[in-house]
Structure 1
Amino acid sequence: MTTTDQLYQIYLQHPVISTDTRKIADGSLFFALKGDKFDANTFAQKALESGAAYAIIDNADYKTSDKFLLVDDVLTALQQLAAHHRRQLNIAVIGLTGTNGKTTTKELINAVLSQKFNTLATQGNLNNHIGVPLTILTINNTHQMAVIEMGANHQKEIALLCSIAQPSHGMITNVGKAHLEGFGGVEGVKIGKGEMYDYLKEHAGEGRFAFINSDDATLLKMAEDRGLDNVVYYGKGHNTNNLVCGKLLDSSPLLKLKWNNRNSSSYNVSTQLTGSYNLDNILAAICIGSYFGLTADEIDQGVEGYQPKNNRSQITKTATNTLICDFYNANPSSMFVAIDNMDKMGATNKVLILGDMFEMGDESAAEHTAVIKKALEANVEERIFIGKEFSSQQTEAQSSALTNTTFYLTAEDALIGLKAKPISGATILIKGSRGMALERLVELF
């Protein structure tokens, strides 16, 4: 069997990892990971023929030469290799998790820190038990910092990811209602996300710090319960403990804010983000930039230069409408703040298009009903709900005196309905879980 130490010496000579035979990099290490419907051991020979230097396998039947490195379990070998590589790195690694805002906050932190440092950040959705080790293994000796996003839908996942990434600094953006089925309810979410604080507390003697939003009572209680001492605070209030505080100046629709740090100087910054809920994410990035010694100008340049993408709080102007594309994912917590944002927005002719939320488990009916109620109370001109879960709760809307509320069972039904009844001259929020694929609607507007 190939040990982690042996594999690491080979990795140093071939520091590029491949897991897909359709995208083999020359001279890379191919890890034959198993999927639900395939066993990549069967593709190992093809990987070598496509240019991989070695193939890491866990089935001895496929070892036909020294180019095949046999391990007990390929996934475990990948994770252990990444953890070993991380231990060789003397750089700050910021671990980031939370229910909402993880990716936007990660991108903002990266945009700020990269004004001064050569920073590596998680790409795309590589934030799970495979993506995190792959990200760690892309860090090389030119990088001065890393920002690692960690996602989870069960307890013990953040603990595993922390054991691999070994963050020197960590933060939880917030704790809300997401993946309730896997976590076992909101309390389960707190335990799961709190594994970040557990790791930082366990390694507090190594100088590991947490960044915490001082306005978030849940996070403060979670930190207090764990006796977390190495903490840097940020928030909207002028809390004397805050390294950075700030407030919104404008949110119609792009955010402008004022912030200050402990030297009492104030700075105004304009962003390319919409949604007042993003203020916390921006302040987190400003706080981390200040903590690591960036100047106010460097921080502002990072914040102002960040352009949202991947359909997260992304504004798209068409010939006839303004779209707020926020359909990368959805859960009750993010739905509520998105609806609140539309409610308060100064635009005229506001429209909500909301798609089903997935992984709600036994709470699905109640949570979809709550979102419908929230949307009915919002100051908007039209509400459109899409999906089986919303449709099964439409009696809530039928009992309301409000009109201009439509339910579609599927996205395909919505496409047909909206083509027959086009919307123009509106500001439209499109939000739903990724599986709803609501990007199909954009072409209609």
Structure 2
Amino acid sequence: MVGLANILYGVQPAWSRQMPYIPPQWQELVFGETVIDSREVEPGTLFVALAGERTNGHTFLPDVIARGALGALVSRTEIEARTTILARTPRRWALVNPVTGAGLDSATPGVCLLIAVDDPLMALQRLAVYHRRQLTPTVVGITGSVGKTSTKEALAALLSQRFCTLKSKRSFNSEATVPTTLLQLAPAHEVAVLEMGMWAPGEIRFLADLARPQIGLVTNVGPTHLERLKSQEAIWYAKAELVEELPRDGWAVLNADDPLVWAMRDMTNARVFSYGLAPHATLWANQVESYGLDGIAMRVHYQDQVISMRLPLIGRHSIYLALAAMSVGLILGMEWPAMIAGLTDPAAQARLRVVAGQHATTLIDDTYNAAPISTLAALDLLGATPGRRVAILGDMLELGSAEEEGHRQVGQRAAQVADLLVTVGQRAIWIAEAARQAGMPSAHILVCMTNAEAIASVRPRLMPGDHILLKASRGMALEEIVVALQPQPEEEA
């Protein structure tokens, strides 16, 4: 929640800021959540009208005003071009100059305040920086090729056992969404857990400058984004920007089992805390057991302490989620019982869902996103389940020159663990081809181009007791298949 005075002051360039005159009737106005999607506008929100490649947020201002937004950050030139359209909105609005406060004196409470700036995105970022600098939470930044959101959820669940914790919504990790998360910071927040994604070199450095994390956590470095950055080395440099920006008294939390991440220990001035499955890590685990959908167990070593634990996190790869989260917890002085309780919370594994399917089947919904490393881990999980195993796998995007090889690696592993393989999409044909070459009978492989085709093909083949894994990149929308394979009302009846 941010007050009007701070918004008008914070959106201005830092070198020329001046506090505007705010009439008495507006001095106590406080905004709720800051959003960039007009569909998320509710009474009390601040909407930021961003102009993107596909849509322009200014187009939705009539709807934003009607939904009850308290205000919006808008472009002066865009508003000038839309004055006639906005004049038709039933609810009144007022154009406000953030430097002088002009427009407030003639506006009455209840109107929507359109705060005119040169560039709404830059204004949002300036406001987020100004707001962040006024508060003193411990900020944890998380980056990596895969596992950012899962690690964020596990870490936030763990830290919430002791600290008032703010976390990024969904996968809010961009130059536009990290600022909206920062604007949710309140004085009561002791810790903020933020994802930091990357579209191009320099972006993580920019996000770190916005958020100023004291702790930076890197999960792994893989071929995701190879399509844009062209080389694994370029991806490594881009991810390393987080640890390069950490303060000397901060902490770089590194996956010691990933050679590229482990090499980042030489890229930071911060202290290093490592985790992994080998004794050279600061926090390490052995005697690791995966019980399929029933969780994991391990023996954890830290200094002279040895703790055995069993957690409901699903899949052997979840060991790394747990170790990463516990690493930050230990840095912040948490005790083992509280950390184990946090990782036992269902919120610790929000991305992967296990739901009932039609005809007494079980759906392993891992559809949020996919890369070769995470899909191989998901297939390992499928391999640990009883009964007949079905893998529904779609295209993995943004792999660049590693595209064919990555899909073929997945196909080889699918042949080892799945009894029935269903591929969805053009790229996933490589999965099917590799599975066939690895010895999987052609009769057990269904090649589909669309979700609808996959649904029609797999439904008649499902049997009671089947475990069905679904995984693909976000753009494939494989959750449509999850919905279609869940029990229908007539089946439940």
Q: Same fold (TM over 0.5)?
A: yes
One-letter identity of the residue aligned with 2:260: T
| Contact 2:379/2:417 (8 A) holds in 1 | no
- In the alignment, structure 1 residue 279 sits paired with structure 2 residue 296: no
Which sits farther off after the overlay, 90-99 or 153-162? 153-162
Provide the rounded CA distance (Å) in 1 between the counterparts of 2:20 and 2:276: 42
Report what 2:342 is aligned to.
302
Report what 1:31 is aligned to.
48
Provide the rounded CA distance (Å) in 2 between the counterparts of 1:60 and 1:438: 40
- In the alignment, structure 1 residue 237 sits paired with structure 2 residue 278: yes
Per the alignment, do residues 85 and 381 of structure 1 end up closer, same or farther by CA in structure 2, a change over 3 Å counting? same
- In the alignment, structure 1 residue 351 sits paired with structure 2 residue 390: yes
| Contact 1:209/1:230 (8 A) holds in 2 | yes
Bigger-Rg structure (1/2)? 2
Alignment of 1:40-51 (within 5 A): 40-44=57-61, 47-48=64-65, 50-51=67-68
Shift of 1:347: 2.2
Report what 1:336 is aligned to.
376
- In the alignment, structure 1 residue 438 sits paired with structure 2 residue 478: yes
| Contact 2:290/2:315 (8 A) holds in 1 | no
Provide the rounded CA distance (Å) in 2 between the counterparts of 1:246 and 1:398: 35
Shift of 1:111: 0.8
User: 1:340-366: CA deviations, max 9, x gaps?
Assistant: 3334x1523222221111122343233
Quick one: percent identity of the two aligned structures? 30
User: 1:363-418: CA deviations, max 9, x gaps?
Assistant: 32333233222322x23322222211122674444545431222112221111111
User: 1:106-158: CA deviations, max 9, x gaps?
Assistant: 11111111111100011112221111000000001111110001122322221
Per the alignment, do residues 80 and 382 of structure 1 end up closer, same or farther by CA in structure 2, a change over 3 Å counting? same
Per the alignment, do residues 68 and 434 of structure 1 end up closer, same or farther by CA in structure 2, a change over 3 Å counting? closer
| Contact 2:179/2:210 (8 A) holds in 1 | yes
Report what 1:270 is aligned to.
311
Indicate which of 39, 62, 72 corresponds to 2:79.
62
Shift of 1:229: 4.8
One-letter identity of the residue aligned with 1:175: V
Report what 1:14 is aligned to.
30
Indicate which of 104, 114, 125 corresponds to 2:160.
114
Report what 1:3 is aligned to.
12
Alignment of 1:403-442 (within 5 A): 403=441, 404-442=444-482
User: 1:282-317: CA deviations, max 9, x gaps?
Assistant: 11111211221112111111011134666x332224
Q: Which secondary structure state, in structure 1, belongs to the residue aligned with residue 402 of structure 2?
A: helix
- In the alignment, structure 1 residue 218 sits paired with structure 2 residue 218: no
Q: Which secondary structure state, in structure 2, belongs to the residue aligned with residue 274 of structure 1?
A: coil
Shift of 1:330: 0.6
Per the alignment, do residues 230 and 217 of structure 1 end up closer, same or farther by CA in structure 2, a change over 3 Å counting? same
* TM-score calculated relative to the size of structure 1: 0.88
Which sits farther off after the overlay, 261-270 or 292-301? 261-270
Q: Which ranges of structure 2 fall in alignment gaps of 5 or more residues?
A: 1-7, 81-93, 96-102, 104-112, 487-493
Aligned residue pairs: how many?
435
Q: Which secondary structure state, in structure 2, belongs to the residue aligned with residue 276 of structure 1?
A: coil
* TM-score calculated relative to the size of structure 2: 0.80
- In the alignment, structure 1 residue 190 sits paired with structure 2 residue 228: no
Report what 1:383 is aligned to.
421
Per the alignment, do residues 71 and 264 of structure 1 end up closer, same or farther by CA in structure 2, a change over 3 Å counting? same
User: 1:165-211: CA deviations, max 9, x gaps?
Assistant: 111111111111212212223222212211112212xx32xx22111
Report what 1:165 is aligned to.
211
Q: Which secondary structure state, in structure 1, belongs to the residue aligned with residue 278 of structure 2?
A: coil
Provide the rounded CA distance (Å) in 2 between the counterparts of 1:434 and 1:12: 42
- In the alignment, structure 1 residue 105 sits paired with structure 2 residue 136: no
Per the alignment, do residues 145 and 8 of structure 1 end up closer, same or farther by CA in structure 2, a change over 3 Å counting? farther
Indicate which of 399, 413, 431 corresponds to 1:360.
399
Report what 2:120 is aligned to.
74
| Contact 2:367/2:473 (8 A) holds in 1 | yes
Per the alignment, do residues 6 and 396 of structure 1 end up closer, same or farther by CA in structure 2, a change over 3 Å counting? same
Which sits farther off after the overlay, 1-10 or 353-362? 1-10
Per the alignment, do residues 400 and 231 of structure 1 end up closer, same or farther by CA in structure 2, a change over 3 Å counting? closer
Shift of 1:258: 2.8
Shift of 1:429: 1.6
Q: Which ranges of structure 1 fall in alignment gaps of 5 or more residues?
A: none
Which sits farther off after the overlay, 424-433 or 36-45? 36-45
Provide the rounded CA distance (Å) in 2 between the counterparts of 1:394 and 1:7: 63
Which sits farther off after the overlay, 92-101 or 188-197? 188-197
